[in-house]
Amino acid sequence: MRRIKCTIAYDGTHFAGYQIQQQKRTVQGELEHALSIIHKGQFVRVYASGRTDATVHAYGQVIHFDTPLAIPDEKWPKALNALLPDDVIVKEASEVPPSFHARFSVKKKEYRYRVWIGEKNVFLRHYVYHYPYKLHVTAMNEALRYVIGTHDFTSFCSAKTEIDDKVRTIYEAEVIQEGEELIFRLVGNGFLYNMVRIIVGTVLEVGRGERRAEEMKTILQQKNRSAAGKTAPGHGLYLWHVSYDN
Amino acid sequence: MRRIKCTIAYDGTHFAGYQIQQQKRTVQGELEHALSIIHKGQFVRVYASGRTDATVHAYGQVIHFDTPLAIPDEKWPKALNALLPDDVIVKEASEVPPSFHARFSVKKKEYRYRVWIGEKNVFLRHYVYHYPYKLHVTAMNEALRYVIGTHDFTSFCSAKTEIDDKVRTIYEAEVIQEGEELIFRLVGNGFLYNMVRIIVGTVLEVGRGERRAEEMKTILQQKNRSAAGKTAPGHGLYLWHVSYDN
């Protein structure tokens, strides 16, 4: 068996999320369906770097699967894209050693979150969070500096999270304004459920002057989801890049 | 009765076009439906600057309608947007004299056409024409210069066109490269059926080196649709702006 690693992108608008669910349209479901056709009906399990929720997009999600087929690396994207719907695309593929695992070998992940502060725009409705308020970008960057480093992110994850260890390390956290768009960038060794969306939602409240930037510190200390702000909607979020060793 | 002029935008992806058709989802149908609710069931006819085809977008379409209601200008967008689906938006509204007509008073129209020459991008699939070839931008601008001025555009309109007078004046025609995107801009006093899409399709063939720029001149002279190139797909096209006197 060969292990194939693929970088994929998807428009999350019409998916019930990445992970397979009965009777729902999912990215994993589409990938496994395309692979089963290539494997003449044989089921092929796909493993991703992590799941994404309904309406959340991916620009650089990573998956792997095992195959007995000797298809050269550069042919895999063409073979899969011919069978996939037009809202998922395989950008590249390469054979990796069997020790590689799309989820367990992750070193870093980058998420981006797009906020649109201009007039409502029909062309962006599925791709940015429309938040038409005057925002203080410097204060938001000041707030984001408090999440950089190793912290217990209990306050910034969904109360439904079942994982016990809520300590994660954030390497980079910033927001950049480009015209009427704000782009949040968060890079970390891992993210808890809804973590980026709760950080963004809280930092937007800082941007509007409803909270002070320093509150981020006390929110972290409280280890209580209700201390933080609203969860920003899924359709502004992008799993941007996943890094592995070399 | 008051006459209200509105500037609207729509994402053409899920519409069978602007103009009302039985059993189809159309922009006009959605507008007239919203207006009939505001008018307590009374039918209100909407007139546009012109129709757009299925999948074609509008960033600045103009419509008008007559109403007995004394709603202030700035309240019309809110009232209509509350009733419209999220792929159509009324950007602004103003009362105009009864001599104004969205179609017959048009002075100029600007269309844009977006071409994506980079790698296939799932987020742009409904909004740009993916044409991943090396293109000679200077040659394309040279080709576009031949359409500027007053010409008989028989060669650049659908053979189905029923209008007899095929003479139109083009004031501006250019293509600009922005990274991996090419943006065509055409400004004229009017456009025939499929005219922008056939001009773009033909000019792209010049960009690929399949035709010389000078051929545009002989194509115009032939007054024959089959002399020109392919019709570029609808989803790259935007009705960008409609101008009226003052």
pLDDT digits (tens, 9 = 90+) for A90-149: 999 999 999 999 999 999 999 999 999 999 999 999 999 999 999 999 999 999 999 999
pLDDT at B246 exceeding the cut of 80 = no
Percent of chain A with pLDDT over 70: 100
- Read off the pLDDT of each residue in B159-165 and give the average, rounded to a whole number: 86
Alpha-carbon distance B62 to nearest alpha carbon in chain A (angstroms): 16
Whole-number percent of chain A with pLDDT over 90: 97
Average pLDDT, chain A: 97
> For residue A169, how many other CB atoms are within 10 A of its CB?
14
Q: Which part of chain A has CATH 3.30.70.580?
A: 2-96
- Inspect the interface and report whether the beta carbons of B122 and A91 lie closer than 8 Å: no
For residue A200, give the nearest of A216, A212, A184 by alpha carbon: A184
Closest chain B residue to A128 measured between Cα atoms? B123
For residue A127, list chain B residues with Cβ-Cβ distance below 8 A.
123
From A47, A53, A44, A45, select the one nearest A18 (Cα to Cα): A53
**Nearest chain A residue (CA) to B12:** A123
For B8-64, write each residue's pLDDT tens digit: 999 999 999 999 999 999 999 999 999 999 999 999 999 999 999 999 999 999 999
Can you point out the beta strands (E) in B68-180?
88-96, 108-116, 129-130, 149-152, 167-178
Which alpha helices (H) appear in chain B, and where do they start and end? 27-38, 75-81, 137-145, 195-207, 215-222
Residue numbers in A near B86 (CB within 8 A):
122, 125
**A34 pLDDT above the threshold of 90:** yes
* B181 lies within 8 A of chain A by CB: no
pLDDT-derived band of residue B113, with 50, 70 and 90 as boundaries? very high
Residue A161 confidence class, pLDDT cut points 50, 70, 90 = confident
State how far residue B162 is from chain A, nearest Cα, in angstroms: 32
Catalytic residues of B: 53
pLDDT in tens, A215-246: 999 999 999 999 999 999 999 999 999 999 86
Residue of A nearest to B78 (CA): A120
Alpha-carbon distances, residue B233 vs A18, A159, B194, B197 (angstroms) = 31, 47, 10, 7
Nearest to B88 among A57, A81, A122 (CB): A122
Phi first, then psi: what are they for B112, rounded to 5°?
Answer: -125, 155
The encoded tokens of residue B197 equal 């899409």
Q: Mutating which of A122, A125, A178 best tests the B interface, going by the most B Cβ atoms within 10 A?
A: A122
Q: What is the end-to-end Cα distance of chain B in Å, rounded?
A: 22
H helices present in chain A, as ranges: 27-38, 75-81, 137-145, 195-207, 215-222
> Are A122 and B91 in contact (CB < 8 Å)?
no
Best residue of A81, A84, A123, A130 to probe chain B, by most B CBs closer than 10 Å: A123
Q: From B57, which residue of chain A is nearest by alpha-carbon distance?
A: A123
* pLDDT for the residue numbered B161: 81
d(CA B72, CA A11) in angstroms, rounded, equals: 40
What pLDDT is stored for residue B162 in this prediction? 83
Number of CB atoms found within 10 A of residue B151's CB = 20
Percent of chain B with pLDDT over 70: 100
**Contact: A123, B86; criterion CB under 8 Å:** no
How is domain A2-96 classified at the CATH fold level? Alpha-Beta Plaits (3.30.70)
Q: Which residues of B are annotated as a binding site for substrate?
A: 111
Task: Answer whether CATH 3.40.50.300 is correct for domain B109-243.
Answer: no
Q: Which residues of A belong to the active site?
A: 53
> Model ipTM?
0.89
Q: Which of B59, B86, B120 sits opposite A89 (nearest CB)?
A: B120
**A244–chain B Cβ distance below 8 A for any pair:** no
> What are the C-alpha distances in Å from A198 to residues A58, A113, A210, A223, A233?
18, 11, 15, 13, 9
What would the mean pLDDT of B192-196 be, rounded to a whole number?
Answer: 97
Give the per-residue pLDDT at B159.
87
Q: What pLDDT, on the 0 to 100 scale, is given for residue A22?
A: 92
CATH of A108-243, picked from 1.10.10.60, 3.10.28.10, 3.30.70.660, 3.10.20.520, is: 3.30.70.660
B-chain CB neighbours of A11 within 8 Å are 122-123, 125
A145, A220 contact by CB (below 8 A): no
pLDDT at A35: 98
Closest CA to A59 of A183, A161, A142, A151: A183
Query: In chain A, which residues fall in CATH 3.30.70.660?
Result: 108-243
Ranges of CATH 3.30.70.660 domains, chain B:
109-243
Q: A56 pLDDT exceeds 90?
A: yes
* Amino acid A162: pLDDT: 83
Strand partners, B6: B63, B93
Burial zone of A56 (CB within 10 Å; 0-12 exposed, 13-18 middle, 19+ buried): buried
The mean pLDDT of B167-189, rounded to a whole number, is 98
- Band (B82; pLDDT cuts 50, 70, 90): very high
Question: What mean pLDDT, rounded, does chain B reach?
Answer: 97
